[in-house]
Structures are given as C-alpha cells and as structure tokens.
Amino acid sequence: MNTVFPITFSHTMLSDLWTCEFKWYRLYVQRLTGVTRNGDLIAGGLFAKACEITRKAYFNDGQDEETAIEAGYNHILMGEDTEDSLKTNERVAFIFKQYFKKFRMDSSLVPVQLADGTYAIEYTFQFDTGIAHPEIPDQNIIFKGKLDGLYERHYQGRITERYVVDEKTTKTVRRVKGNKAKLIDFNAEEDQYRMDGQLIGYHWAARQLGVKTTKSLIRRIPIGVEYEAAFELDIPVTPVMLDRWETSTFSKIHEVIDKYKWLTTSGKHASAAFYPVYNKGCTEFAKVCPFHVGCVEPYGEQILASQYQQLIYHEGNMISVKEFKELKGIIGE
C-alpha cells in the first residue's frame, strides 16, 4: 500500500501513537479511511460548535447574551442528525441552553484577549516543531490543535487565575459508591483528567502564545436519561508536566520519523517497525479495532487494501494518497 508520513501531529494522533504504533501507522501513514458514523461524536461536535458560535457572537461581535445563545441553540437543532436516541438534537440543544444558564457569560471569567484583539475562544493553534519532514523538502512537522478557550478569573479588578477551559459532554458521571443520593464523586471525576495529555498539550500551546495558564477548568456536561446540571472541575498543571510533555512528544516524533525512514528502505513488513501492541487499543471503546484483520490473517494487508480507501485531506478536499504524493513530488510507494 501507498504511504506518506504525516505533516501535522495533533493530540488525537499522539494518543493513537501511544496506544498502538501499528494502528497509528494504519490511520496516519497508510491513511486507511472507511465510512463510520458516531452519534456521540456528532453530538459532541454540535455542542462544541454551538459554544463557539455563542461565545464569539457575545464576546467578539458584542451581541446580547440571549441572541448569542439562540444562535448556538439553533445550530444544534439545524445541524446533522445525531441519530442517537439519548443524544437527540433537541435534547442536546435543551442541555446547551441549560448549560449557559448555569455558566453565564459574565465578567468574572472572561476569555483571554489575544494580540490581534480577538478572544481565545475555540482557538485553532499550529506551531512549527522545527523537526524536518522525512519526505517533503523544506517542510517541518507541525503540531496543531483546537482549544475550547483560555480564560481569566477576575476578582475585584485583578486576574486571580488563568485557565485552559475544556467542555466535555458525557453519558457517564462517576458517583460516590454506596450513596443512595447518587452524589457526584468529584475526586474520581478529577482523577481522570489530572494527567491528561491533551490538556497538558493545551497548556503548552498557551505558553507558546505567551499566556501562562496554571489550571484546567473542565466543564462536565451530563447527557443522561434524566437532566442533570453541568459541573466544574478545577485541576492544576505544573511546569514539570509541561517540560516533560514537550520532551516526550518531540522525542516520540523523532522516533517515528527514524522508524519510517528505516522502513521505507528496508523492504520489511510495516509491523517490523511500527509494532502491533495487541492490548487495550484492540478493543478500545468496547469496539474491535477496525484494522484487526491486518493483525490476524497472513494476507490481512491485502484484505485491508480491498476494504479501505487511502485518502488524505489537502486544501479543503480529500484526495488519494497517490495523488497527494504526486502533488508533493514524493517518489515511491
């Protein structure tokens, strides 16, 4: 199969890389793409976009709160059908409105204003890592991502804290064991984010933008059978975490580049460089890995080639890996 080394790295890619290198290779080097639909992801995407529309309308465009919220609400109602019986568009839109009633857009917690005068809301960042791409001349690897927001807590005219804010819809909230009132277990809720690589990456990105954040503010938004109000988790991050995240991330990128260079000249099977882990990744999210046949059957590679397309995003379109390589002047499979 054709291959091309990725130009950009994101948190999702890193997460896949740490889980199983071979799965990462299938996804981001061979670019195997099938048609999958996930109601949870659609609902989460609609909610995130609605937050962006609402906050930009309020903070950047100066609209009143009610009009701004209505714009986000309508985006969810008119958006792609989630086709999920729990996360229906109507239900997600209702929870969206309740969320903004609970966490008002007031002056106590405001988005950080960036050098260009806009606010750091749903901010897409990309930074040049300085690491040379193994195939494309004059191209460095880019690290990119999208922050829900950088916010400042104001109290009596002073900034008391700077946060990375991340909104997370969820079907499952952790509860205090043995408690009939089903109280939220805030410690357990916080524990799942204390060492979260995505959040550390956001804090690292904030530093690159010149904004020193010290905590993550996670807003959990339950979408269950019965309505439950959203709640906040306040989680510190330390300079040690940022430094070590940067070292390990950059080292890992160097490592996979070296493996890729070796593989393209060795004539070996890809699994000799990008090791299949046969572990949690194989059944992540209670689903079998879509590429498992390649780790089970001797001719798995050919089976995958017949099941999947090899597509890559380029200037607003999905094109074949072969076409992409021709455009970039990359020779060979």
Which burial class, exposed, middle or buried, applies to 115 when counting CB atoms under 10 A from its CB (0-12, 13-18, 19+)?
exposed
If binding is defined by CB under 6 A, does position 256 make contact with ligand SF4?
A: no
If binding is defined by CB under 6 A, does position 23 make contact with ligand SF4?
A: yes
The CA–CA distances, whole Å, from 133 to 64, 141, 239, 258, 261 equal 46, 6, 29, 11, 11
If binding is defined by CB under 6 A, does position 28 make contact with ligand SF4?
A: no
If binding is defined by CB under 6 A, does position 277 make contact with ligand SF4?
A: yes
Calculate ∠ Cα 122-123-124, nearest 5°.
115
If binding is defined by CB under 6 A, does position 276 make contact with ligand SF4?
A: yes
If binding is defined by CB under 6 A, does position 242 make contact with ligand SF4?
A: no
Q: Which residues from 1-20 bind ligand SF4, rule CB under 6 A?
A: 20
Of residues 145 and 281, the one with the C-beta less far from ligand SF4 = 281
Element of type H or E holding 73 = helix 65-78
Calculate ∠ Cα 267-268-272, nearest 5°.
150
Q: Which of 99, 291, 308, 324 binds ligand SF4 (CB under 6 A)?
A: 291
If binding is defined by CB under 6 A, does position 289 make contact with ligand SF4?
A: yes
If binding is defined by CB under 6 A, does position 29 make contact with ligand SF4?
A: no
d(CA 147, CA 165): 8
Interface mask toward ligand SF4 for 57-86; x: CB under 6 A: ------------------------------
- Residue 115's Cβ-side half-sphere holds a number of Cα atoms within 13 Å equal to 5
- CB-CB neighbours of 106 under 10 Å: 9
If binding is defined by CB under 6 A, does position 48 make contact with ligand SF4?
A: no
Q: In this chain, which residue has its C-beta nearest to ligand SF4?
A: 289
CB of 235 to ligand SF4, least distance (A): 29
The CA–CA distances, whole Å, from 269 to 92, 134, 136, 263, 272 equal 46, 19, 23, 8, 6
What are 212's two structure tokens? 């020193």
CB of 29 to ligand SF4, least distance (A): 12
Q: Which stretch binds ligand SF4 (CB under 6 A): 69-77, 94-102, 291-299, 315-323?
A: 291-299
If binding is defined by CB under 6 A, does position 292 make contact with ligand SF4?
A: yes
Of residues 162 and 259, the one with the C-beta less far from ligand SF4 = 259
102 and 230 in contact (C-beta within 8 Å)?
Answer: yes
d(CA 69, CA 72): 5
Q: Which of 121, 281, 304, 312 binds ligand SF4 (CB under 6 A)?
A: 281
Q: Which residues bind ligand SF4 (CB under 6 A)?
A: 20, 22-23, 276-278, 281-282, 289, 291-292, 295
